[in-house]
Amino acid sequence: MTGISRNLRWALFATLCLAGIFNAMDRPVIAILKPDMMADFGWTDSDFGDLAAVTQFSAAFAFLFTGWLVDRLGVNRSMQLGASAWSAAAIAHGWATTMWQVVAARAGLGVTEAVQTPLTIKTVATLFEPDRRSFAFGVATLVASTGTIVLPFVVPALAFLFGWRGALVVGGVGGLFSLFLWMWLARGVGSVLATVPATARSPDSAGDDIQHAAYGSVLANRRTWAIGVAKALSDMTWWFINFWLADYYRKEFGLSTLELAVPLAIAFAGSGIGALFAGWVSTRLLENGWTVNRVRKTVMLASAMIVAPLPLVAQLDSFWPVAVMMGLVMAGHQGFSLSIFSVITDVVPTAKVARVTAFGAFMGNMGGVAISLIAGRVLDAGLGFAPLFIFASASYLLALLWLHLLMPSIRRDEGALASVAL
């Protein structure tokens, strides 16, 4: 990519990460506000699980289209469309006074936020050399996690001042700020950001006009299904923890909304640190001559083993060891997830990256739909969190096994090597 200076590229990437903070905070914030919303509408755990499932299903459905949209529109126009749409959906919560209006606002948020994931992966695949992409993913995840770390401290204060609706509106306002900053930085280079370099095409993408192609050639490739099912299995645990961790702390340890701040911050700090560390390790191992296959699967196996002891939290009577273990679990998830996204940029031609990413996110969100529905009913049946923890502990090992069976050897595609020399 020519016509964009090194500093501007990093500034645009940083702005995308800033937008990711507000995009990422909109979903977990509802878990913190759960008591206020349940008091307003008289919801049960199953009702809350259904609301979470609506958001997840909406996002999953949208992912079927957002990957194609990002591949077609390019980075610049996708950022403008996506950030403006999800900000408007978040702000719409301020006018939600009935249960169905809340459901509609959450569904709208799920649909519009689905642009962010393929947009981020596409941007990283375009701006960074292959060996540096894992570290870039780690940085982006760490920055996004910063917002979720701050949430438990800020959201109760916002809810106290403006009510739970006002707290949800803040994410939309922040999204608009990041959009305006992006537009200011991208002025004059928008046409460059909208293009895909000719070097990004490979024999695998020959004849695949990114302006019109959808998912035919993508879904016909077994690598897409290797990634998609692995995302579904692993993301079930991620969404389970995002939506239900605060509730677990309330029920098991009697924490108030204000008291949730520190333990939730520990969990999300683990998420960001895990992503950054996994990205750094992956980059160093590649630079030291390890094969892509060995690096990706080693990091995924180590991440899965970090999550495996999760059921032990049910045996711990002390609160702080539980909080630390949850932070480790979140770190393990992000190390695993980062590796899957890195695999996408390894094996998928740049012209198809957004579509494969979006399909993987679709599968991950469908996993989130399933676990949200299951968790609410398991808890209402009085079975507690233990069965859910047992499944979560095995989900990453199952995901890695599936990925290995369908992709025994991870090798870089020639068309995935195109990037900008930074």
Q: What percent of the chain has pLDDT over 90?
A: 21
How many Cα atoms within 13 Å fall on the side-chain side of residue 369?
16
What number is the average pLDDT over the span 206-233? 73
What number is the average pLDDT over the span 400-407? 96
Q: Which of 297, 249, 255, 300 is nearest to 274 (CA)?
A: 300
Q: To which residue do tokens 């900008």 refer?
A: 420
Give the H or E element holding residue 192. Answer: helix 190-193
Residue scoring higher pLDDT (189 or 8): 8
- What is the predicted pLDDT for the residue at 19? 84
First to last CA, the chain: 10
C-alpha pair distances (Å), 82 with each of 74, 78, 362, 404: 12, 6, 17, 34
Lowest mean pLDDT among 25-29, 224-228, 246-250, 321-325: 25-29
Looking at residue 270, what DSSP letter applies?
Answer: H
Q: Cβ(18)–Cβ(143) under 8 Å?
A: yes
The pairs formed by 38-47 with CB atoms below 8 angstroms and a separation of 24 or more are 40/164, 41/99, 41/102, 44/376, 44/380, 45/247, 45/376, 45/379, 45/380, 46/376, 46/377, 46/380, 47/376
Q: Which of 151, 168, 177 is nearest to 93 (CA)?
A: 168
Distance CA 168, CA 163 (A): 9
Answer whether residue 422 shows pLDDT above 50. no
- What is the predicted pLDDT for the residue at 319? 82
Distance CA 40, CA 96 (A): 12
Lowest mean pLDDT among 210-224, 372-386, 393-407: 210-224
Calculate ∠ Cα 218-231-128, nearest 5°: 70
Give residue limits of the domains in the chain.
6-416
**Which band of pLDDT confidence, cut at 50, 70 and 90, is reported for residue 4?**
low
347 Cβ contact list (under 8 Å, min separation 6): 223, 407, 410, 411, 412, 413, 416
- What is the predicted pLDDT for the residue at 154? 77
208 Cβ contact list (under 8 Å, min separation 6): 217, 351, 352
Q: Which of 395, 70, 40 is nearest to 231 (CA)?
A: 395
Looking at residue 33, what DSSP letter applies?
Answer: T
Q: Cβ(249)–Cβ(263) under 8 Å?
A: yes
**Which band of pLDDT confidence, cut at 50, 70 and 90, is reported for residue 30?**
confident
- As to burial, measured by CB atoms within 10 angstroms (0-12 exposed, 13-18 middle, 19+ buried), residue 383 is exposed
Answer whether residue 7 shows pLDDT above 50. yes
- What is the predicted pLDDT for the residue at 207? 40
Looking at residue 140, what DSSP letter applies?
Answer: H
Distance CA 199, CA 279 (A): 25
Residue 3's φ and ψ, nearest 5 degrees, are 90, 0
- 169 is written with which tokens? 């509106």
- 359 is written with which tokens? 């399909």
Q: Cβ(226)–Cβ(407) under 8 Å?
A: yes
Answer whether residue 108 shows pLDDT above 60. yes
Q: Cβ(118)–Cβ(354) under 8 Å?
A: yes
Mean pLDDT, the chain, as a whole number?
Answer: 81
- What is the predicted pLDDT for the residue at 187? 78
pLDDT tens readout for residues 261-319: 788 888 888 888 888 899 889 989 998 999 999 999 999 999 999 999 999 888 887 78
Distance CA 175, CA 53 (A): 23
pLDDT tens readout for residues 113-166: 888 888 888 877 776 777 777 777 777 777 777 766 776 677 777 777 877 788
Q: Cβ(335)–Cβ(400) under 8 Å?
A: no
- What is the predicted pLDDT for the residue at 26? 63
Q: Which of 33, 410, 23 is nearest to 227 (CA)?
A: 410
- What is the predicted pLDDT for the residue at 390? 93
Answer whether residue 399 shows pLDDT above 60. yes
Distance CA 302, CA 335 (A): 8
**pTM, to two decimals:** 0.70
Q: Cβ(115)–Cβ(69) under 8 Å?
A: yes
Give the H or E element holding residue 369. Answer: helix 353-380
Looking at residue 210, what DSSP letter applies?
Answer: T
CATH architecture of 6-416: Up-down Bundle (1.20)
How many Cα atoms within 13 Å fall on the side-chain side of residue 164?
17
- What is the predicted pLDDT for the residue at 294? 95
**Which band of pLDDT confidence, cut at 50, 70 and 90, is reported for residue 214?**
low
- 411 is written with which tokens? 């090798």
